[in-house]
C-alpha cells in the first residue's frame, strides 16, 4: 500500500468508526497538508475526496464481511458506506445508520434515479430528433446536427417572405 493510500485509509477508518462519519471534501482539505510534495503532485483535492469516498465503501464492505463470517445468504446487496445529504455530504458506514437516516438515503437515491431517468429521456429524444441529420451526415457533431435542426425549425415557423410560391 502506498503512503497516500495508507493515510487515506487510516483517516477514513478513524472517522468512520465515529458514528458521525465525515464530509469527504472537508477531510480531503484537512489531509492535504499532511501529504508530501510528491503525493500532493499526484492528486488534487477532488481526487483526494474521491479516494476518501472509495475508502469508505471498501471499509464498509469489510465490516459487512466481519458481521457475516459464515457467508449467510442475504436477499439484497448494499453499499458498505453511503453519503447522507444535508448541510454537508456526510459519508457514513451503512451499518451505523438509524432508520430515518436510511430512509433519507433511499429518498436521495430515488431523486437521483428520477433525475437520471429524465436526463436519459432527454438524450433519447435528442437522438430521435437529430437522427435524420446524423443519418445524412455521419461525421457531424451533436452541435452541427442541433444547428441544422434549429435552422429547419426556424424556417418552418418563419417562412422566408421573399420566397415566391410556384403554381
Please state, in angstroms and as integers, the Cα–Cα distance from residue 69 to each residue in 2, 54, 74, 94, following that order.
Answer: 28, 23, 12, 18
Nearest CA among 13, 42, 41 for reference residue 27: 13
Q: Which three cell numbers stand for residue 92?
A: 457514513
Q: Is residue 28 part of a domain?
A: yes
- What is the per-residue pLDDT for 66? 79
Other CB atoms within 10 Å distance of the CB of residue 104: 16
**DSSP track, 77-114:** ---SEEEEPSSS-EEEEGGG--HHHHHHHHHHHHHHHH
Q: pTM (2 decimals)?
A: 0.63
Look-up of cell digits 429518498: 107
Q: Is residue 102 part of a domain?
A: no
Give the largest Cα separation in the chain, rounded.
Answer: 85
Look-up of cell digits 410560391: 165
Report the domain count for the chain.
Answer: 1
- What is the per-residue pLDDT for 163? 41
Q: Is residue 117 part of a domain?
A: no
Q: Which three cell numbers stand for residue 31?
A: 489531509
Q: Is residue 17 part of a domain?
A: yes
The boundaries of the domain holding residue 7 are 1-97
- 1 secondary structure, DSSP code: -
Which runs of consecutive H residues, i.e. helices, occur in the chain?
3-17, 24-31, 37-42, 45-67, 99-136, 142-157
Please give the average pLDDT of every successive group of 10 residues along the chain, which has 167 residues: 86 84 90 89 90 89 77 77 77 90 91 94 96 96 95 81 48
Amino acid at each position: 500500500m502506498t503512503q497516500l493510500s495508507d493515510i487515506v485509509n487510516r483517516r477514513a477508518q478513524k472517522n468512520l468508526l465515529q458514528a458521525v462519519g465525515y464530509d469527504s471534501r472537508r477531510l480531503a482539505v484537512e489531509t492535504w497538508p499532511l501529504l508530501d510534495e510528491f503525493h500532493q503532485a499526484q492528486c488534487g483535492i477532488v481526487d483526494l475526496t474521491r479516494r476518501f469516498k472509495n475508502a469508505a465503501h471498501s471499509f464498509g464492505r469489510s465490516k459487512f464481511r466481519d458481521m457475516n463470517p459464515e457467508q449467510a445468504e442475504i436477499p439484497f446487496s448494499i453499499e458498505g458506506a453511503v453519503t447522507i445529504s444535508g448541510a454537508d455530504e456526510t459519508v457514513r458506514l451503512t451499518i451505523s445508520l438509524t432508520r430515518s437516516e436510511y430512509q433519507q438515503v433511499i429518498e436521495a437515491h430515488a431523486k437521483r434515479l428520477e433525475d437520471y431517468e429524465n436526463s436519459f429521456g432527454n438524450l433519447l429524444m435528442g437522438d430521435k430528433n437529430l437522427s435524420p441529420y446524423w443519418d445524412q451526415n455521419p461525421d457531424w457533431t451533436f452541435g452541427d446536427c442541433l444547428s441544422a435542426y434549429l435552422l429547419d425549425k426556424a424556417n418552418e415557423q418563419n417562412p422566408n417572405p421573399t420566397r415566391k410560391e410556384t403554381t
